Amino acid sequence: MIEIIPAIDIIEGHCVRLQRGDYSSVKQYGSNPVDQALVFRDAGVRRLHMVDLDGARSSEPKNLRTLEAVASATGLDIEWGGGIKSEASLKSSFDAGATRAICGSAAVKNPDLFEDWLRVFSPEKIILGADARNGKVAVHGWLEESEMTLEQLVGRFVPCGLKQVICTDISRDGMLQGPSFELYGYLQEKFADIDFTVSGGMSSMADIERLNEMNLRHVIVGKAYYEGRITIKDIEKWLQNA
């Protein structure tokens, strides 16, 4: 069964969500990241998706203390992204408790460096963040579009041992309108050996059930949870049946 990975996005140490990557649309939620992560852990969650939105915008991690606190309190497998553009920031993320690092802009802007990271740190620890708007890959906290397509970006690193990709359709992110089923189905079929994680647009458990039927392997749940569309009981029940 597809694995549900809850999301915690962070600005200035607080749990927040955006719409379509627009920082002016930020909405803060009540729980602090540690308390929210403990709720997920107690429901049986094994992996947590955390994004440092301050880091994504400033090109270097800014909320490593929050990462360290969550990792220390929960012991969860944490995939961490946002501003990882240098080896120093990559190492500091791992030192703070990340078990996997999500790298997007670095892979687009400096593919040779990302290739080195796959080799040195292993494909089990390095995740390609492949986020697109209007068919083109977006970088720098989704504030800038490149000329590269998702297919080109993923295909560039398959020969280098790439195993994990988180793909976000930015137009769907935070909109609660359902994910781009055709996009994810196409990518998973074309790159059968890659573990794709679906991100953006989840609106209900029905979306997750459909992705599961399509044999997708992982799905990130963010705003749908925080807005009550998917409950902690839903997540707990799904994980118990996995």
Q: Helix 232-241 crosses helix 205-213 at what angle (to 10 degrees)?
A: 20
User: What distances in angstroms separate CA 113 from CA 81, 89, 210, one per listed residue?
Assistant: 16, 13, 36
CA distance 188 to 232: 28
- Selecting among 9, 169, 207, 234, the annotated active-site residue is 9
CA distance 94 to 97: 5
Which among 6, 165, 162 is positioned nearest to 77, based on CA atoms? Answer: 6
Beta strands in the chain (DSSP E): 3-11, 14-19, 22-28, 47-52, 77-81, 100-103, 126-133, 136-139, 144-145, 164-169, 195-199, 218-221
> Is-catalytic flag, 131?
yes
> Is-catalytic flag, 9?
yes
CA distance 50 to 97: 11
Residue 201: partners with Cβ closer than 8 Å, 6 or more residues away: 169, 172, 173, 175, 176, 177, 178, 179, 180, 207
- Selecting among 52, 54, 131, 207, the annotated active-site residue is 131
Query: With contact defined as beta carbons under 8 Å apart, do 173 and 21 qualify?
Result: yes
Query: With contact defined as beta carbons under 8 Å apart, do 67 and 51 qualify?
Result: no
Which positions are catalytic?
9, 131
